[in-house]
Every structure is written in C-alpha cells, then in structure tokens.
Amino acid sequence: MAYRKKDTPCPVRETAPWNEVPVHRPVTCRARDYRAGTHISAHKHRRHQLVYSMSGLMVVRSEVGRWVVPSTRAIWMPAGMAHAVDCIAEVHMRSLYIEPAFAPQLPAEPFAVQVAPLLRELLQAAILIDGPHEEDSRDGRVVRLMLDELHRMDVLPLHLPEPVDPRLHRICQHIQKHPGDEATLQDWAQALAIDVKTIQRHFASELGMTFGQWRQQARLLAAMERLARGEKVIDVALAMGYESPSAFTSMFKRQLGQTPAAFFR
C-alpha cells in the first residue's frame, strides 16, 4: 500500500501492488503489519475482502460510512467499493480476498463482524497456502470451511452511516468533531432554519436512525478511538458528554456486550 498524509487529496486506486492476488486462486489470504498512525489511502479491489486486525485498532471509511474496528473484529468489504484505512494503534492485518464468482452468495454490503476463534485460526492457516490446490485436499478444505464461516458472520454495531443531505451532513460533521456537544434537535432546527420534524424524517430515511441514536453511535466510535490510544475511561466519558464514567460504561456495555476494559483486553 502507499502511505500518505491525511490532509493530501487522495484519488481512488483500483488496487495496490501488494494486494495483487494470483488469478488462479479464487481465495487468497495476505498478512501485513502497519505502524500506529499509518494511513492507507482510498482504493478498491476487484475481489471481496475481509479486513481483519489481529491486534490494534483500525478506522475504515467508505462512501457509505465509517467503522471502528478493534482486534477480534473485521470489516467485510464487497468488491468494487472504495475504502481507506487509518491505523490508530499498531495493526497486524490479515486480508482475505475472494473472487465474487467463486462465492456469489456472499454479502454485497459492507459491515463489521465478529471473528470467531475458528475463523481466526483458518485465516492463519490460509496465509500459508501457496500455489494452486485441489478442492479435495487439506488446503481446499481450509478454504471451503472459511467460506462456511463467512456465511455465519454476525453484523456488529460498529458502523456510522454518512448522510447525503447537506443539512444532515452539517449536523453529523459537527457531532463527529465535537461528540460531547449537547445541542438538541430544536437547537439544530433553529440554527438551520428548518422544522424539527424535517430533520427527524431525514435521519430516519437516510440513516435508519433517530438523531439521538446516531449521536450515541458517533460517541461510541469516537470513544473507542480514544480508548485505543490509551486515554483513561473517566477522561473519555467526560469528553463524550457523559456525566460519569459509570454512565458511559453502561452505554458501552449495552452496545458491545462488554465493559471498555474487557473489550480492549
């Protein structure tokens, strides 16, 4: 991959040299490590990709939204969708590439998933597969079992959808820059000179969430980035607009099933 500064305009690449995969192998797994702070510029692949971080934390951005991806989680990125990656902490990435025609039933939309222990070990085994292989062989069975596991992927709440409407875009950009801001819908309606119900309707139709749900999700993802950088829970909780660390921890556990300490352990 080519590394670039974040403030440099970035054209979308069709692919990057190290991601070229053998045409005779419909499923290929590659390993790559990145330093904290690395930015992988916008690019897209001809194949589906499972982007998995064995350790560290990534932020993945595409035209349809943004995901925060800690270790044990992964992003399913369908073929042809442009995306960029920021490595918040040192990332040991494992990327699985799948020819769409080889597995036409796999999802056509991106989402975050849990990487179960079995899938993790299969990815490790797939990295060692070199050259063509017969379907009725150990390597062939590893590939087939990986595809079976991919069909069982559960979507995780690590996605923040991006709006198209310029008024919603202004609201959402402000919240992402200032996640602790307590401005209400009424405040935004007044600032934008539109009706509260209009904002509510656009949030529901474009983002599939209420204003409150979107803001909570934005705060959750922003908090995950800060926690991954080593900030204290109390500092993150207050920065996200919560009155106490316990209130923040309750929200975090309700959304992700674990406390922040357990999640990042």
**Is 196 contained in some domain?**
yes
Q: What is the mean pLDDT of the chain?
A: 86
- At residue 15 the predicted structure's pLDDT band, cuts being 50, 70 and 90, is very low
- Residue where one domain finishes, among candidates 97, 129, 156: 156
- At residue 13 the predicted structure's pLDDT band, cuts being 50, 70 and 90, is low
Are 197 and 144 members of one domain? Answer: no
Q: What is the pLDDT of residues 17-43, one digit of tens each?
A: 334 455 567 889 999 999 999 999 999
Are 170 and 187 members of one domain? Answer: yes
Lowest mean per-residue pLDDT among 105-114, 125-134, 161-170, 242-251: 125-134
Number of domains within the chain: 2
Are 139 and 96 members of one domain? Answer: yes
Are 191 and 138 members of one domain? Answer: no
pLDDT score recorded for residue 20: 47
Are 257 and 185 members of one domain? Answer: yes
- Residue where one domain finishes, among candidates 156, 182, 208: 156
Q: What is the pLDDT of residues 56-101, one digit of tens each?
A: 889 999 988 889 888 878 999 999 999 999 998 889 999 999 999 9
- Residue where one domain finishes, among candidates 114, 130, 156: 156
What's the 3-state SS for the chain? Answer: CCECCCCCCCCCECCCHHHCCCCCCCEEEEEEEECCCCEEEEECCCCEEEEEECCCEEEEEECCEEEEEECCEEEEECCCCCEEEEECCCEEEEEEEECHHHCCCCCCCCEEEECCHHHHHHHHHHHCCCCCCCCCCHHHHHHHHHHHHHCCCCEECCEEECCCCHHHHHHHHHHHHCCCCCCCHHHHHHHHCCCHHHHHHHHHHHHCCCHHHHHHHHHHHHHHHHHHCCCCHHHHHHHCCCCCHHHHHHHHHHHHCCCHHHHHC
Are 80 and 204 members of one domain? Answer: no
Are 41 and 112 members of one domain? Answer: yes
CATH number at residue 47: 2.60.120.810
Contact residues for 191 (Cβ-Cβ < 8 A; gap 6+): 183
**Is 78 contained in some domain?**
yes
Q: What is the domain range of residue 175?
A: 163-264
**Is 98 contained in some domain?**
yes
Residue 204, CB-side half-sphere exposure with 13 Å CA sphere: 6
